[in-house]
Structure 1
């Protein structure tokens, strides 16, 4: 099956199969959030990106192998509604950006700084800190040694623009420049983007519009 990244709340997950990593995308309610279960093929260890809601659905996707860890991309409540239930059900370690951890009511076991590495079995992810949507938002980069990079952007980057900065020009500038410097300037066009809501995209699809985003200020 070809991966499309198009999922709906209550619908089937979509699965992106890479050589070393299996990425399962599922949509959960009530705010149509995306959650991603990453499974290392070599060890079957699993990591969840954003326990947004519907703990039963997330645990069902993880299956009997459970979860070793959960990364919360940022402090906004729609991204951690199921976190306590998932941790209670699996004993998973929790990760979040250091500057957002205090805004997440479930304790963060491992506060993340820019450039920190997270292991999923034999697979390694790199956290990048971006300021603007929240003070401590992080994105996760998987630089696939057999192909192109894959990034899990939370609410920092979507098809059509960066995340909501609530009409604050300083926050927009911070987020835009961070996304440009840490993602667009370092990663190739083929890089696949998995956002916190909605459809996937690639850096190549979005790159031609960077000047437009800067000009409009959102």
Structure 2
């Protein structure tokens, strides 16, 4: 079995991580180098796609037969450009944060709030509502009972900092506080972070830099 590294390129092969109960497939799509993640329950085969960002053809090829749900992490256009086509082709139910759903042009079947459970077959994940990059961004954590947690952060946390708050100091303070409290304050250093763009990281790699992020203001 090849080792998962989480470094993917637009037009390149997906990277696959096989956990005891869940298979995670990561692929990059253009033109903004978005990361999309397919979660598949090993027992039931049920699947959830995180961010139908673009390039429906690539996403549908990755999905194969049967997609139950698509979660849109937040309202920004680069994260839902293929959503309509993917839903039309698969009949998947749509999920989005309660306060971002109005900015997603495809109707949302389920509005997510902080702490809500998202089930993918026998696998359970928990929604984390984070404010600052957008009003209703949703991160999703899978606390692997046979390993460490896995955290899908959308555009709220990356290697090297939190998400863009567009020069708004209040939004920056709100997002940083949310990430510190709900992510770093609850999850261990071993937690693997899957962001909305670029390479993966861990909370342990990022935790020492929180004070630096606060000082620089972005």
Measured against the shorter chain, the TM-score band is: over 0.9
Match of 2:56 in 1: 55
The structure 1 segments of at least 4 consecutive aligned residues displaced by more than 2 Å after TM superposition are none
Give me the whole-angstrom Cα distance separating, in 2, the residues matched to 1:108 and 1:149: 27
Deviation at 1:62, TM superposition (A): 0.8
Match of 1:117 in 2: 117
Give me the whole-angstrom Cα distance separating, in 2, the residues matched to 1:90 and 1:119: 18
Give me the whole-angstrom Cα distance separating, in 2, the residues matched to 1:40 and 1:118: 12
Give me the whole-angstrom Cα distance separating, in 2, the residues matched to 1:217 and 1:111: 31
Structure 2 matches for 1:62-73, cutoff 5 A? Answer: 62-64=63-65, 66-73=66-73
State the Cα RMSD in Å: 0.4
Deviation per CA, 1:19-74: give whole Å up to 9, x if none. 0000000000111000000000000000000000000100100112x210000000
Match of 2:211 in 1: 211
Deviation per CA, 1:142-199: give whole Å up to 9, x if none. 0000010000000000000000000100000000000000000100000000000000
Match of 1:185 in 2: 185
Structure 2 matches for 1:99-114, cutoff 5 A? Answer: 99-114=99-114
Give me the whole-angstrom Cα distance separating, in 2, the residues matched to 1:150 and 1:187: 10
Give me the whole-angstrom Cα distance separating, in 2, the residues matched to 1:17 and 1:29: 25
Match of 1:151 in 2: 151
Match of 1:22 in 2: 23
Please say if 1:132 is aligned against 2:117: no
Give me the whole-angstrom Cα distance separating, in 2, the residues matched to 1:216 and 1:164: 13
- State the TM-score, normalized to the length of structure 1: 0.99
Give me the whole-angstrom Cα distance separating, in 2, the residues matched to 1:63 and 1:29: 20
Give me the whole-angstrom Cα distance separating, in 2, the residues matched to 1:31 and 1:213: 24
Match of 1:80 in 2: 80
Deviation per CA, 1:89-135: give whole Å up to 9, x if none. 00000000000000000000000000000100000010010000000
Q: Give unmatched runs, 5+ long, in structure 2.
A: none
Give me the whole-angstrom Cα distance separating, in 1, the residues matched to 2:114 and 2:214: 24
Secondary structure of residue in 2 paired with 1:4: coil
Deviation at 1:216, TM superposition (A): 0.6
Give me the whole-angstrom Cα distance separating, in 1, the residues matched to 2:173 and 2:160: 16
Aligned residues: 217
Give me the whole-angstrom Cα distance separating, in 2, the residues matched to 1:201 and 1:16: 14
- State the TM-score, normalized to the length of structure 2: 0.99
